[in-house]
Each structure stands twice: as structure tokens, then as C-alpha cells.
Amino acid sequence: GQQLNQSPQSMFIQEGEDVSMNCTSSSIFNTWLWYKQDPGEGPVLLIALYKAGELTSNGRLTAQFGITRKDSFLNISASIPSDVGIYFCAGQLGGTYKYIFGTGTRLKVLA
């Protein structure tokens, strides 16, 4: 079945460092969404991407929709302790209304 490969699975970084994570798939997606989830909470939408090649920023976050529509990356610049959490990518499968979620990147920031 369709799946999103999200990497890295987890990462420890120092406060102030930049972070990069990505999602890839063999399937084509209409939309890419990036979420952050804190333990026991609902995912919070960070960035939404709708067009191939689109680059969008939200504060220290930047995400891009791959040209082939099969991948996306999320960058966080100058990380801070509150960036700790699990980041999920989600893609809406082309030709469907279904959303597939990646397995998540668990981010830990060391002060």
C-alpha cells in the first residue's frame, strides 16, 4: 500500500542548530502538510503546501513541495527547546481524498 518514508526517525540537536527532515514516497501527492505533535495532544498544523515546487515559510520553519510531487522537506532554523516534539508529514494522495501520514521524526533539543 501507499506509505510515506519519513527521516530521520529521531534526532538530538543542540539549541541554536538548524534541523532538516524529509518525507519521500513512490506515490504522487496533491498536498503536503507538516504537523508537530506534543505528547498526548493533537497534531498542530505548521505548514501546508499545495503546488509542486512551492516553498513556504512560517517563522523559523521552511518547507518545500518536491517538483516530482513525491517528496517534501521541512527545515527548522536556530532550534529552541520548545521545538521538542514529533514532526509528521502528511500527503493527500493524487486522485483521492485520502491522507497518508509519515511515521514521524522525534526531535529532542539539548539546551
Distance CA 40, CA 20 (A): 24
Contacting another protein (CB under 8 A), which of 14, 42, 59, 82?
A: 42
Contacting another protein (CB under 8 A), which of 100, 107, 108, 109?
A: 100
Q: Does 97 bind another protein (CB under 8 A)?
A: yes
Smallest distance, Å, CB 16 to another protein? 28
- Work out whether the CA dihedral 45, 43, 100, 102 comes out positive or negative: positive
Candidates 20-28, 60-68, 73-81, 94-102: pick the segment binding another protein (CB under 8 A): 94-102
Applying the rule CB under 8 A, the residues between 11 and 40 that interact with another protein are 30-31, 33, 35, 40
The strand pair at 105-110 and 10-14 is best described as parallel
Cell (9 digits) for 109? 533539543
Write the CB contacts of 109 (distance below 8 Å, at least 6 apart in sequence): 12, 13, 14, 15, 79, 80, 81, 83, 84
Q: Does 50 bind another protein (CB under 8 A)?
A: yes
Residues lying near another protein in the complex (CB under 8 A): 30-31, 33, 35, 40-45, 48, 50, 88, 90, 92, 96-104
